[in-house]
Amino acid sequence: MKNKQTIFKLIVIMLIAVSLLLVGCGNTSQGGGSTGGNGSSSSTGSNTGSSDSTPIEPPVEIPANVTHTSWKILKGKITETTVHKYVTDKPGPKIVIVGGIHGDEDAGWTAALRLVNTISQEKGICGEILLIPQANILADNALVRYNVKGMGVTFSDLNRSFEVGRESTAKSATIEISDALVETIDEFIGDYQIEEDYDLCIIDLHESRGSYTEGTAAKGFLGDQLICKNNPFFMEDLLDHYNSNYRELGDPDFRTEESVTDGSFSLNFSTKYRKATVFTIETNRGYKNGTNTIALEKRVSQQLNILQALFDLAWQRI
């Protein structure tokens, strides 16, 4: 009886000892894994430490920290407008977006204004962005192309007043706006070196009265096009991506057009930064009998979707 009790006690002690050893091995193994994980980057390190039974999670993308600053240009003047700059802590391209050069092309500057508060949260944002939503704010708020009456100042077409090919009739108040835009954008670009297609993108947001599908460019029907002088090869990639993945059912395919108007924002920057991707978005507002027949919301979403397609390529998020 006494022997049996002793043998039973011994078996119990042995079982406890063996189970303690097993638990101890588990701990040692886990500890070794996490130590190894600490040597690699934080996103992959947590995966390295997982045991076989834990499913492997995809690497977690750490969003960029974005610093948003804004300031006024043309300060104290009736043309004073706000510039926004977004600097991230991740390397990437420099992107310039300018809306509202023509005030009655309201989808462009409406889209740009929406970007002010959303662009920081864009997935995959990197590099730096300069955003000037309302370049010609007086005209924008009056919903006219450029000629705001009753201000005591005469304006000319801002998109014919930039230095390269400037109209001889350009007014000084308008040249003052174009000079301020150029100075601000040049300062943002600085001595930045362009190596790849997407390293420097400069985009102005416009609209046309009609679509290229309705008539010739000579009639002024530039809508549903991206106007780009320097980089048609890149533009084909962007158009393919937009037309395949963002274009809404029933909308025409966007296409590219290389002829750029004298005195325009686009010609100015295409000339100065020949390796940059400079293009003008022209949505179609379907202007007939004094009215836009295509809803503002539809045109704004076209503008924003083209920019989304650009961000996909420029930020390499697809």
Site of tokens 């003052």: 176
Instruction: Give the shortest CB-256-to-Zn ion separation in angstroms.
Output: 17
Instruction: Give the shortest CB-84-to-Zn ion separation in angstroms.
Output: 21
| Secondary element (H or E) of residue 173 | helix 172-189
Site for Zn ion in 117-176 (CB under 5 A): none
DSSP code of residue 286? -
The answer to whether the CB of 89 falls within 8 A of the CB of 65 is yes
Tokens describing residue 114? 């929406």
64-73 burial, b for 16+ CB within 10 Å, e for fewer? Answer: bebeeeeeeb
**71 SS3 class:** strand
Closer residue to Zn ion in complex, CB, 107/180: 107
Instruction: Give the shortest CB-103-to-Zn ion separation in angstroms.
Output: 9
Stretch that binds Zn ion, among 75-83, 91-99, 198-206, 251-259 (CB under 5 A): 198-206
Q: DSSP letters along 111-165, please?
A: HHHHHHHHGGG-TT--SEEEEES-TTHHHHHHTSSS--TTSSS----GGG-SSTT
Q: Are strands 277-284 and 225-227 parallel, antiparallel or unpaired?
A: antiparallel
Closer residue to Zn ion in complex, CB, 88/280: 280
Phi/psi of residue 128, each to 5°?
Answer: -135, 145
Tokens describing residue 84? 């926004």
Closer residue to Zn ion in complex, CB, 265/273: 265
Stretch that binds Zn ion, among 72-80, 126-134, 200-208, 259-267 (CB under 5 A): 200-208
Strand partners for 225: 255, 282
For residues 36 and 42, give the distance between their C-alpha atoms in angstroms, rounded to a whole number. 12
Site for Zn ion in 50-69 (CB under 5 A): none
Closer residue to Zn ion in complex, CB, 26/220: 220
x/- letters, 82..121, toward Zn ion (CB under 5 A): --------------------x--x----------------
Closer residue to Zn ion in complex, CB, 19/141: 141
Closer residue to Zn ion in complex, CB, 93/99: 99
Instruction: Give the shortest CB-207-to-Zn ion separation in angstroms.
Output: 6
Nearest alpha-carbon partner for 103 in 77, 129, 79, 71: 79
192-202 burial, b for 16+ CB within 10 Å, e for fewer? Answer: eebeebbbbbb
Task: List the Cα angle 191/174/184 in 5-degree steps.
Answer: 20
Instruction: Give the shortest CB-77-to-Zn ion separation in angstroms.
Output: 22
Instruction: Give the shortest CB-136-to-Zn ion separation in angstroms.
Output: 10
Closer residue to Zn ion in complex, CB, 199/204: 204
Instruction: Give the shortest CB-223-to-Zn ion separation in angstroms.
Output: 11
The answer to whether residue 299 forms part of the interface with Zn ion (CB under 5 A) is no
The answer to whether residue 206 forms part of the interface with Zn ion (CB under 5 A) is yes
Could you tell me how many residues of this chain bind Zn ion (CB under 5 A)? 3
DSSP code of residue 285? -
Stretch that binds Zn ion, among 115-123, 175-183, 205-213, 258-266 (CB under 5 A): 205-213
Instruction: Give the shortest CB-227-to-Zn ion separation in angstroms.
Output: 10
Tokens describing residue 157? 């077409």
Instruction: Give the shortest CB-203-to-Zn ion separation in angstroms.
Output: 13
Closer residue to Zn ion in complex, CB, 94/171: 171
Residues found near Zn ion in the complex (CB under 5 A): 102, 105, 206
